[in-house]
Every structure is written in structure tokens, then in C-alpha cells.
Structure 1
Amino acid sequence: MPYFPPPHARIFCAAVNYGDHRAEMGREESDTHPMLFLRTPQSLVPAGKPLIKPPNSDRFDYEGELALIIGRPGRHVPRAEALAHVEAWVPFMDGSVRDWQRHTAQFTPGKNFDGSGSIGDSPVPAALFGDYRRHRLLTRVNGEVVQETPVDRILFDVETLIAYVSSFTELRTGDIIATGTCGGVGDKRVPPLYLFPGDTVEVEVSGLPVLRNGVAAA
């Protein structure tokens, strides 16, 4: 059966977790802790299903990411043991409705429109994926590469994210951590590049099946 997050899964997302994205978004460089927000399973669709452009915004943006699926529960997980809790890796598209994201200082509305993001349906086991730092991440819109980075440019690494999240809540089997996007988001391009019905978004992480979704109207 193709994978999709179960309803009980928590989806923890790291924000501004690459230096070039932090710079393009005008964020401070002095953060001492990861910036996190939550997505709901209802905000995601699987690979091959259309992303839903909200009818009440024309600022629907893409963010390609690498995500991990927790296999072994844990609380207060030490960095040295963090990767032992990862069951599998999967590409992730953190679709963002930028004007709703900025209604207040909290990201929740702009990150949780129904069907606005996606997740790969064929996770690769951690043992087969190997060292996440050796992989590359890229995003394409209508066949054009719009984001690309080595994963090792991540600011707060996976070990830090797992240790940090598990310090305030027990990580449970099936939980997901999306590790953040790099520079090149549509909102900061000149002119901006937003998603509309008929577009196609692809998130490719080396070693993982490509996550591909069209865009449809609500």
C-alpha cells in the first residue's frame, strides 16, 4: 500500500533552516533554537494527487524539503542516538499560502490549507538511504529547477531537530519531521513565481522517488 501519514501523526516542520532561505526571507541569523510549526495530515496529499490552490489567495508557494518518519518512540533523545529513531526518509512539499502565513506572527493558517502540501508515498528505509548529509535536494516547477542545495547546508541538523522536539514531547511511531527548505521560493523571486491550476511541482531528493504533484483549483 502507498504510504500516507496516519491521522494520529504529528508533522513537525523546521522553518528557515537553510542559510540562503533565511537570508531571502530577511530572518535574523542569531537563532539559538530551531523555529518549528505544525502541519496536519489533512493539509497534505500523496504523490500523484493534485495540490489544491486555495480560492482565497493567489500567493500559493512551493517549498521542497527532505522529511523523516519516526520509527522508534523516544523522549529526551540524545543527539548521539537521534538517527536510531528514524525509520525512513521521504520528500516533502511544504506548500505555503504566503499572505495567510503573514496574517500574524504565527504560521499556522498559511501552512495548513487542506491539500496544500504533499508527501512522497514510497518512503526509503533509513538503512538504504544512508547518510542524509550526502544527498541533494531540488524542486522543479513545470520542469524548471527553482531550488537546489546539498542537504549538508542545513542549519539545525536532523540530530538537533530530533533532540529538540523530543525534549518537549514524546516522539511517537509515525510522527514526521520536515527538515526545511532552501533558497529560491517563489515568493522572493522577481517577479514572484506562485502556483496556479495546471502547474506541476516536483521535489527530488537523491536516493528517493521523485514527489510529483499537479495543481488544481479548489
Structure 2
Amino acid sequence: MTDRFNTIAGWTLFAGIVALGLSIISGHFFNADSPERPEKMGYPIEGVVEEGASEGPSLAMLLSTADPAAGEKIFAKCTACHTIAQGGANGIGPNLYGTVDEPIGKGKAGFAFSSALSDHGGNWTFENLDEWLKSPRSFAPGTKMSFAGLGSAEDRANMIVYLNSMGPGVPLPAVEAPAEAKPDEPDEAVEGGAADPTADSDPAAAGAEVTAPAAAAKN
């Protein structure tokens, strides 16, 4: 009696194990293509932009809509170190009148720039100013500038147009128009009027062209 009970219990346990295994396998199989399963990037890679992510407006677009008055308010943070009036004295930092398009680290008489700027090369273009205002330490590693930078692209654009207004001024970059889709190429046969050369010809003439060589052959 005991052996029979053990046999029944063993088969029951075995059947339960098999059923559980089949349930797990079928669950994996049928959920393999489930749209509810989110696909996420396992490890974010620097410089990789996810599909659909927007890069934002261009610098030219931001400058075209920037407000010099708003830039002047932002510049108030800089007055502890800089002056900007024409002929103003240098302070902890150089006077910034006429800075736009000046040589980087060389355009202010009487001010000793760090080698990080004096050896940088190039001019203070709109693009260079944008990168500098975003992060001075990244633009010129080793700079003495203690300012952390402006994280807002709009704030940087406002500051740049204000700096540009405090000096001779440089024309703002043109905003590129969005590319227009090219129309489909027309069918050459339709546009050029090319057609079947015998389509409008006289059927009798066509027949004569066919039979004439045959008549010549007989002669």
C-alpha cells in the first residue's frame, strides 16, 4: 500500500514539474515580441543621440531672435570683474568693449591673459563666444576665468548680441532656410513629346514602307 502511494505521489510530482517547465517556456515564447516590453539603451554612450531626439535651434537662429537688453541684464553678473564701456579700464578681467571678432587672448592692451587664452589662436567669433560662455574651462583648459558658464543657449545668445552691440559690431550669421524637397523628375517621354514614331502615321504609308522592300526583292 505504501509503495503504491509513493508511486502515485512520484508521478504527481513529476507531472507538476513538467507542467511548470512548459508554462515557463511558453511564457518566454509568447512574450518574445510583446510591445509592452520596453527596449532601453543598456549603457548610454557619450555623443550618441537617441532616435527622435531634437538638437534644438541653430546658433544662427538663436542669435536672430536674441534680445540685447536681456543680454545686458545677464552681463550684470560679470561687472564684478569686467567693464564694457568704450575706453573702460581693465579690472580683474579685461574691458570687453569691441570683443566680438577680436583675436582671442590678444585684443586688450595692458591686460595679461593666461597662456590658455593667449596661445589658443583664432578670433572671438560667434561660435567661439558661444562655446566660451557655455564652459570657459572646456573651451580653454587652464584659464584663470572662474566663471562656470551659462547652461542656457538662449542666455548665451542674448549675451553675445549684447557684446556685439558694445563695439563696431559684426553682421549676424544668416539663418539657413529649411531644405525644400525636390519635385519628382518628369517622365522624359511625356515632357519631350517622344512617342511611337508610327502612332500618327498614315496606315497606308506604313504598309507601303513594309511592302516596298518585298517588291524590290522580287525585281
Computing the radius of gyration from Cα coordinates, the structure with the larger value is: 2
Q: TM-score, normalised by structure 2?
A: 0.23
Q: Which has the higher helix share?
A: 2
Q: TM-score, normalised by structure 1?
A: 0.23
